Amino acid sequence: MEQGVFREVDAERMGQLITDVIHAARGRRISLGHDDAPEEARRAIDEFILDSLGVETEDG
């Protein structure tokens, strides 16, 4: 990611996915009392969504 090289994705769908994850975490926190849900969602976005956007280059 530091090199600014990303896999092509549908930006609207990706944005909606991230929004859905955030809203689901908010719902879990409010409705179910899962106070860690927002932080867990942020970690999941970093680990699963953002990492999936990177493209492997020869440099790593």
Total number of domains constituting the chain: 1
What gap in Å lies between CA 28 and CA 36, rounded to an integer? 9
Contact 22, 41 (CB under 8 A): yes
Q: What is the pLDDT of residues 34-60, one digit of tens each?
A: 999 999 999 999 888 888 887 665 555
Q: What is the pLDDT of residues 10-42, one digit of tens each?
A: 999 999 999 999 999 999 999 999 999 999 999
Determine, yes or no, domain membership for 43.
yes
Determine, yes or no, domain membership for 60.
no
Q: Which residues pair with 53 in a beta bridge?
A: none
Contact 18, 45 (CB under 8 A): yes
Determine, yes or no, domain membership for 4.
no
Tell me the residue ranges of DSSP E strands in the chain. Answer: none
Give the range of the structural domain holding residue 32, as residue numbers without chain letter: 11-53
